[in-house]
Amino acid sequence: MKKSGVKKLLITSLSLVSLSVALGATQADASAQGDYIKDGSTVQITKKNYEIWQNFGWKEKNNTSNVYNQTFDAKGRYQHQNGSTYYSLYDNKGTWYGYLNANATKKIDGQGSYISDGSTVQITKNYEIWQNFSWKKKEMGSTYFNQQVQAKGRYEHFNGNTYYSLYTKTGSWLGYINANATSKTKSEGNYISDGRYVEITKNYELWQNFSWKKKGMGSTQFKKSLQAKGRYEHFNGNTYYSVYDEKGTWLGYINATATKSYQPKQTKETKTINKDTSNKVLKDTKGYKKVSEETDKGKVSKKPNGDTHTLFTKTIIWKKDQTTELPSDIGNSGMQFNTKAEAYDWGYDNNPNPNGSFFVYKMENGKYTVDFNKETPTNEDKYETINKDDKGKVLPSNVDLTKYTKVSEDTKQTVKTLSNGNTITTHTTTVIYKLNTVYVPKHEEQFLTVYKDDKGNILPDDFDINEYIEVSSIADNGVKETFPNGDTMTTYTTTITYELKEDHQGETIHTYETNVYNQNGVFLGGTIPSGYSEVSRKESEKTVKQSNGDTLIIHITDIVVRIK
């Protein structure tokens, strides 16, 4: 019994020792992480396969592979005895995610990293447009309501919102705006009803769609009247017409700079109606004699594109000709002759129609008479146009009418009757033009600055210049652009390249400086002037430490001179 009792006591002692050891280990673990330190950093998960701990007893709660690249609020941190720092992480809704080794993260600004985008959007709500993510207001969204702007980049902010970095069509930066205040649009913009008539003057492509699938070429429609039923104001700065032919067939989209306003055409036509004296329309005027002729002022019809067609109606009145039909009757000359020769001589001398013929026949009374053949008079229409300026001066035939604007138009007819009865109707159209005001093209200049890192990437607008070192600055000679109206613009671009300070390797830079003085200590410049000789020379060095880590060594030579 004692033995077992001893054994029992021994076992009890061992149990107490084990309990003590266990308690000691727990207390050691509980203090190993150190005190809670308030932090507040915004961090991004940058490494996979790190455990996220439930506690410092190393119970795993999650893994960074499941939240890679996500952003969290490190409300606090612990400096653990194992040498690592552990963040206590929360999402933007305040949900605790656990403890994570700081080596699996990097500190970032609350807005997160810049993400290239390129979307075309419209501002639809009056939200603030921010100058920076310290929430300095730049202006209000209502300034640009329903205008197309480009979101060149975006930021996925820790507060749960997305912010676009907005630019105008001309490349001017507007600021940052909450994406909820915008709606995405197509780059071509909304359809705008138009209706104007145009003429294609340049061989530009006709597009099937705004993914730039070619439908045809403009040269196939040169000098034709086309209707631009609608247009698109594209974000690329161009206007595109949706054009149709006269039959209503859609031809495609074409850049407006390949067109000009359609100039309506004027056509004329004369229709002739033959009538007898009872106002009955005649199909054939054979056997009739013209009595009168009249041309009306014309009826004008106009097409939707502005083309006009004037139809003149000429009405000719005819009377039945009483030509002799029977040989027993006297001829239409009314003359009688004793001999056939006398009748021929008289008919030849007195024929009213020089181009006509006549014949002589013997009547029942034994005498001879003359009968003249009747020719139907004809009419010839002639058209002429006289162009005058608004002061009444006739314009030369080779004048460029594209430099003028038509003011008015008037048409008049004059009829000339020839000796043979034929007529010539002249239709004279007088058009009055006014010289257009001469446009003097303008020239403008703009200066752009582009910031890049040493790898050639464009830096975001809000990059912290204090974290960078300027490496180079290069200005181009300018790019000149000529617009359809003759205006020109030259764009000068300066590209400044920066390098992160933490990547910069310090260099030693030597510079040399020479100072020349006379014996009175007056500075004369950097070289010995003509007429002076050297008296003495002193050389020294000056070392200057640069903020970027470079060392600048200035070699200074001071020379004293005197007049020779």
Q: How far apart are CA 427 and CA 168, in angstroms?
A: 57
Separation of alpha carbons 501 and 547, rounded Å: 9
Q: Which run of H or E residues covers position 6?
A: helix 2-32
Range in 300-304, 469-473, 475-479, 534-538 the model is least confident about: 469-473
Instruction: Tell the CATH topology of 191-261.
Output: SH3 type barrels. (2.30.30)
Q: In this predicted structure, what is the pLDDT of residue 156?
A: 85
Grade residue 361 by pLDDT with cuts at 50, 70 and 90: confident
Asked if residue 375 has pLDDT above 70, the reply is no
Residue 502 has pLDDT above 80, yes or no: no
pTM of the model: 0.39
**Strand segments (E) across 284-376:** 288-295, 299-302, 308-320, 336-337, 358-362, 368-372
Of 329, 254, 43, 81, give the one whose Cα is nearest residue 158. Answer: 43
Grouping H, G, I as helix, E, B as strand and the rest as coil, residue 8 is helix
pLDDT in tens, 203-223: 999 999 988 999 999 999 998
| Every domain of the chain and the residues it spans | 36-107, 114-184, 191-261, 266-320, 336-372, 379-435, 506-563
Region 440-458 average pLDDT: 83
* Chain segment 111-158, per-residue pLDDT in tens: 877 888 888 898 989 999 999 988 899 999 988 887 889 899 998 888
- Who wins on pLDDT, 498 or 28? 498
Residue 25 clears pLDDT 70, i.e. is over it: no
Q: How far apart are CA 306 and CA 400, in angstroms?
A: 21
Q: Are 531 and 517 in contact (CB under 8 A)?
A: no
Strand bridging mode 148-156 / 137-140: unpaired
Higher pLDDT, 156 or 353: 156
Fold (CATH) for 114-184: SH3 type barrels. (2.30.30)
Angstrom distance (rounded) from CA 122 to CA 142: 11
Select the more confidently predicted residue: 248 or 235. 248
What is the average per-residue pLDDT within 370-393? 81
Cα distances (angstroms) measured from residue 230 to each of 233, 255, 334, 419, 545: 10, 12, 77, 60, 66
What's the pLDDT at 326? 45
Q: What is the dihedral of CA 462, 466, 467, 473, to 10 degrees?
A: 80
| pLDDT for 374 | 58
The residue length of the chain stands at 564
Q: Which CATH number fits domain 36-107: 2.40.160, 2.30.30, 3.10.290, 3.30.1560?
A: 2.30.30
Q: Report the pLDDT averaged over residues 472-491.
A: 82
With pLDDT > 90 as the criterion, what percentage of the chain qualifies? 38
Q: Please, which pLDDT band fits residue 289 given cuts at 50, 70 and 90?
A: confident
Condensed to tens digits (0 to 9), the pLDDT of residues 507-536 reads 787 878 889 999 888 888 888 988 889 999
Beta strands in 170-307 (DSSP E): 173-178, 182-184, 192-200, 205-207, 214-217, 226-233, 239-244, 250-255, 259-261, 266-276, 288-295, 299-302
Domains 36-107 and 191-261 share a fold: yes
- pLDDT, residue 438, reads 67
Question: Is the pLDDT assigned to residue 559 strictly greater than 90?
Answer: yes
| pLDDT band at residue 546 using 50, 70 and 90 as cut-offs | low
The stretch 14-42 carries a mean pLDDT of: 58
Identify the pLDDT of residue 450: 85
Q: What is the mean pLDDT of the chain?
A: 84
pLDDT at 26 over 70: no
